[in-house]
Chain A
Amino acid sequence: MPAEVLTPATEEAIAEAVAGSGGQALRLRGGGTRSDIGRPVQAARVLSLAGHSGITLYEPGALTMVVKTGTTMAEVEAALEAENQQLAFEPMDHRALLGTTGEPTVGAVVAGNVSGPRRVRAGACRDHLLGARFVDGRGRVVKNGGRVMKNVTGLDLAKLMCGAWGTLGVLSEVSLKTLPVAETACTLRFAGLDADGAVALFCAALRTPYEIAGAAWIDGSAYLRIEGLAVQVENRSRALSALFQAHEIERIDGEAHGALWRGIRDVTHFAARPGAVWRLAAKPTDAPGIVAALGAAGAECSLDWGGGLIWARVPQEADQDVRRHLPGSGAHATLVRGCADHRGAVAVFQPEHPRLAKISAALRHEFDPDTILNPGLMA
């Protein structure tokens, strides 16, 4: 039976929809492009944010955008592009990897703390979130943070909402920091490197003052992205080429450059290939050991964030939980692409320390006492 879809067009209507849910579960949805992330949610009704759309305020001179959460990323990016600005955390578009259609929304980007390759330098979505308004599980509107760059007034609930995947509240409006697009960019490609060689290269490059804006490794090639004013990009690419002169270096510019990083951002290298895809956060120097251990178990890996982010494709889904192959490191894993059975059978999100799990459960109870918002998604 198809789920009943509620499409409130205002924050007030979102609050009414939640308050009037009668304790029945609601599956939150933006554009539906990330609906297959998380544990399967049992809900007869969908609360779609698609009708709650529009840019409330955009002040390029103050580097601030306030936007309703149902707004598509396409609309946000078009507005930013017209002012030569961007969201510096470079949110991933999950459509290619997950094989979904529709339009990604800004609300889902914030709810998932979705970040991309520039995270290694510029920070994650949560670092660019200035404030949020949301509707809690009782149907009450709550605001936190604001639209200014520095704000330590009260507890930072906006960060708590960022990455909670809609399990604490329905985000209705978010304020984001925007930044100018770099004047120029180029990438140095180092072919023929294994994970050890790539991470050694990343560690050396990220120790330089050249503000590396991307450090990824795919199919035996390592990539270093350099961004900035023209003079900076020229100086820095020259200095890095000198530093790594023992390697064969190819420089990538222009259109190919943009396409390269969109592909890295969206993990398109695993898109058309079968199997489960896991995302692991690790101490960068632990990455080669993890890649080796997962490789021995039949997985194929790529690296981003200088080794701090590992994407692992595991061809046999029967091999359920990638965590059992991890050496004793502090790495933690999230199943990003898996069939519903798989997602129902394993912990999609990394299990937490018991005390932290208890705190998270208690917070969920305070924000959503009847467990109606995306129930069980992060369980």
Chain B
Amino acid sequence: MSTIVMPKPMQSVLDRKAAIVAALAEALPDNRVISDPAETRAYECDALTAYRCPPLAVVLPTTTEEVSAAMRVCHDLGVSVVPRGAGTSLSGGSLPTADCVIIGTARMNGFLEVDYDNRCLRVQTGATNLSVTGHVEDDGFFYAPDPSSQLACAIAGNIAMNSGGAHCLKYGVTTNNLLGVRLVMADGEIVDLGGPQMDLPGLDLLGLICGSEGQLAIVTEAVLRILPKPEGARPVMIGFDDAEVAGECVARIIRSGVLPVAIEYMDRPCIEVVENFAHAGYPQCEALLIVEVEGSEPEIQDQLARITAIAGELNPVEVRVSASAEESANIWKGRKSAFGAMGQINDYLCLDGTVPVSALPGTLKRIGDLGREHGLQVANVFHAGDGNMHPLILFNANRPGDLERAEALGADILRACVEVGGCLTGEHGVGIEKRDLMPDQFSPVDMEMQMRVKDVFDPGWLLNPAKVFPLSASESRRTEDRRRAG
């Protein structure tokens, strides 16, 4: 048993399954609709695997027009829709309900236009994050947002969750690199928003769409900003025996005027597990920073010299400047294998609360205390430059009650993040995972205004309805009457 509840499926929808599937099949070319329970099971969860539920049906369109046709059928029949990219959400953003139709972007991964002069490209949103960079890197460009799941995750999900990554300290997150979208609205209408221009006319609806967790519309195409690749990049690894001093080091680097492309942080429990797994040669200490800078060789040397000088004033356990591509790979090896290493020895919940950089040391201490109170171990590996923490709560899914304890600890940790001026989620999204914690960050009026925005885009509350807002807050909107009227 787990603690997050999903609403009961609407019996009236379940009863009409055959008619709904038939209407979808009628509206779409062959082989777009999946309704056999043996096949829909593949879509029963995303990367928040503790929660599973096969959908009523799955639609895998190949064009915007097909998404529109499927959406129109669902709209007219009052069936809720859960949009799905690659299904890598860590917050349950694409978790189905038994009475929903999944509309997935998996078969929409075409590159429609690449425009180096205007430094942008147009892509179908089923393309993976990494494939975007792959498409342009031979010509010296890259796409900046780089979530850890970038090999698998789709641009659709990146836009839905406003994904970040390790390099957003310098380059920003998805919303800062998204120039335009093609939308399928809840009633099936197709609308373009933005484009290769740097500014949009009117209200910033693009900013609203990005990070809306599939609740406002389905994004089928995106115009993405691409950037020239830096000439080179190299990291320095710095170990400290005190988390507070490591936090001070981060703040001093940021203030110094050097803008590293990434500042990553690992704590002792994480270093130990990673070291056993990846043998990256990390020192055993309380806090390890990996700071990466970019530029030409003399520029890299200059920046690394400044950073090591700052670190040197703070009595580090070790400072290791990479001198070669091989040494860089070694320094990054442990960090990049951290999640895999954790997964080898434990089940874990990965949180992503964000705190002000100045509150990092205190929050780390508080997380340690909370872990002890709940009797669970927590390892921390995160993007320190922007305060985006990733506490990994280690538990044993086979031990009854452990998941519930882990979730309770997670909730306490996220509340602690909010208390020091932070937020529940920095890059994973609210989904179902943090849905019930929203009142810890927002007042009823704050949430009401957000739900009114959803009312405007999706009056019937058909799109991903049981996510983001606590069920009690959205209950009066998630009704059969509204769906019929929507």
Interface residues in chain A, defined as those with a beta carbon under 8 Å from any beta carbon in chain B: 59-64, 83-84, 113, 119-120, 123-124, 126-127, 136, 140-144, 146-157, 159-160, 162-164, 168, 179-183, 203, 206-209, 228-229, 231-232, 235, 281-285, 305, 308-309, 330-332, 334, 349-353, 355-357, 359-360, 362-363, 366-367, 378
Contact = CB atoms under 8 A, between A and B. Distances in A.
Interface in B429-486: 429-430, 434, 438, 441-443, 445-447, 449-450, 452-457, 468
B356 A235 contact: no
Given A180-B256, A349-B201, A366-B455, A355 B189 contact: yes
Nearest to A358: B456
Contacts of B68: none
A267 to B, nearest CB: 15
A283 B200 CA distance: 11
A353 B197 contact: no
Interface stretch (B44-52, B101-109, B112-120, B342-350): B112-120
B231 interface: yes
Indicate the size class of the contact surface on chain B.
35 or more
A322 to B, nearest CB: 14
A59 B358 CA distance: 8
Given A153-B438, A179-B259, A207-B119, A360 B203 contact: yes
A156 B208 contact: yes
B357 interface: yes
Contacts of B468: 154
Contacts of A63: 254, 357
Interface string B50-90: 00000000000000000000000000000000000000000
Contacts of A180: 254-257, 259
A1 to B, nearest CB: 32
Contacts of A119: 198
Contacts of A148: 354-356, 386-388, 421-423, 426
B414 to A, nearest CB: 10
Q: Among the interface residues B161, B162, B421, B424, which one has the most CB atoms of the partner chain A within 10 A? A: B421
The 6 A-B pairs with the shortest beta carbon distances in the complex, nearest first, are A159-B207, A61-B251, A149-B386, A350-B201, A150-B426, A281-B199
Contacts of B302: 229, 231-232
Nearest to B194: A330
A282 B429 CA distance: 32
Contact of B257 (A61, A182, A282): A182
Interface in B387-414: 387-388
Contacts of A208: 228
B303 interface: yes
A282 B201 contact: no
Contact of A353 (B161, B192, B228, B450): B192
A164 B205 CA distance: 11
Contact of A156 (B202, B207, B256, B457): B207
Contacts of A359: 205, 456-457
Contacts of B441: 146, 153-154
Contact of B442 (A154, A162, A281, A334): A154
Given A143-B443, A378-B202, A152 B195 contact: no
Contacts of A308: 197-199
B191 interface: yes
Nearest to B253: A61
A140 B445 contact: yes
Contact of A164 (B117, B173, B203): B203
A357 B357 CA distance: 40
Contacts of A136: 449
A153 B336 CA distance: 25
A207 B356 contact: no
Given A153-B438, A155-B211, 7 more contacts: A62-B254, A120-B198, A144-B450, A149-B388, A162-B204, A283-B196, A359-B457
Given A308-B198, A367-B449, A160 B208 contact: yes
A374 B299 CA distance: 49
Given A152-B161, A330-B197, A360 B205 contact: yes
Nearest to A199: B117
A144 to B, nearest CB: 7
Contact of B208 (A140, A159, A378): A159
B131 interface: no
Contacts of A334: 201
B421 A147 contact: yes
A292 B197 CA distance: 19
B208 A153 contact: no
B168 A150 contact: yes
Contacts of B185: 355
Contact of B453 (A84, A155, A162, A209): A155
A60 B250 CA distance: 12
A316 B128 CA distance: 51
B449 A142 contact: yes
B176 interface: yes
Contacts of B234: none
Nearest to A366: B452
Contacts of B454: 155
B228 A155 contact: no
Contacts of B380: none
B423 A146 contact: yes
Interface string B208-239: 10111001000000000000111100000000
